[in-house]
Amino acid sequence: MTVVVTRRGPALWARIDRPGAGNACDSAVLAGLERWLAGAGDPGVRALVLTGTGRSFCAGADLAEATGLLGDQPALRAFLDRGRRLVRAIGSAPVPTVAAVNGAAFGGGLELLLACDVAVAAGSARLGDRHLAVGQVPGWGSSVLLPLAVGPALARRLLVTGETWTADEAARRGLVSEAVADADLVPHVDALVATIAARDETAVRRMLGLARPAVADAVWAREWETLVAHVADQAAGPAGPPGPPA
C-alpha cells in the first residue's frame, strides 16, 4: 500500500509510504489519500493527520507518472486536477487536519501541508515550493495559500526563488505552527489531537468555518488555468517540456 491509514486514538493518520520516490504523489497515493479523507466521517474521528515515511513528507506530484502522460494532455490534466481537488477537499474537511511534517516537503507536498489546518515540522524537515526548479508553476494551491500563511512578500520570495527553508525558518515565518525535535513529532501531534478531541465537537466544526480562509473560486481558477496553459505551451515547444509538474 502506498498510503497506510491507521486509527490512532481520536485521529485518523495517513502515512504516504513511497520513501524510494520521496513519497511523491502518483495516482495510487492520490487514491489512498482520498480514502483517508473519506474516513473523516467515521465515528469518533476528531482529526486527520498526514505524514510520510522516512526522510520525506512529500516531494510533490510523481515525475515518472507525469512524464508518461506528457503526450496525452487531457490525461495529464486529469491527473493534476485530481491532486488539486484533493488539496481543496483537505482544506474543507469536516474535522481539523494536521500535517506532521517528518521530512522534505516540496512542490505538491508543500501544497498538501498548506491545505492542513495545523502543520508541525520535525527539526530535520526542509520546506519549499520548488516548482521553478523544474521549470513549472504550481497548480495545487501554492500561489493561493502561501500568501495567506506567510504574507505576500515572503510568499513571492519563496515562489520566485525556489529556495528551501529549514523547519525553524518555516516556524519563524509562519509556514508551520512550530518545529519540534524529530523524536518529539508524533508525541507532540498526539497531544495536539488530544487537546482538539477534548473540545466540544460541534463548536470545533463551527470554529473551522470561521478560522479557515475564504478564497474565491476565481483565485483558485487563475492558478489552475496558468498551470494548464504552461504545460500545454511546454508540450508544444520545439525542445519539448523541461520536465513535468512537481
246 residues of the chain, pLDDT tens digit each: 899 999 999 999 999 999 999 999 999 999 999 999 999 999 999 999 999 999 999 999 987 787 778 778 889 899 999 999 999 999 999 999 999 999 999 999 999 999 999 999 999 999 999 999 888 999 999 999 999 999 999 999 999 999 999 999 999 999 999 999 999 999 999 999 999 999 999 999 999 999 999 999 999 999 999 999 998 888 887 554 445 555
pLDDT (0 to 100) of residue 72: 83
Spatial contact of 222 and 146, defined as CB atoms under 8 Å apart? no
Tracing cell 504550481 back to the chain, one arrives at 138
pLDDT recorded at residue 231: 87
Beta strands in the chain (DSSP E): 3-8, 11-16, 47-52, 56-58, 97-101, 104-106, 118-122, 126-128, 165-166, 178-180
Element (H, E) at 52: strand 47-52
Cβ 27 vs Cβ 16: under 8 Å = no
Place of cell 515562489: 159
pTM: 0.93
DSSP state of 128: E
Residue bearing cell 517540456? 241
Per-residue confidence (pLDDT) for residue 134, from 0 to 100: 85
The per-residue pLDDT for 65 is 86
pLDDT of residue 199: 98
Domains and CATH numbers, the chain: 3-197 (3.90.226.10)
Q: Are 49 and 6 in contact (CB under 8 A)?
A: no
38 φ, ψ to 5°?
-65, -25
pLDDT, position 243: 53
Q: What is the pLDDT of residue 241?
A: 44
- The residue with cell 526548479 is 133
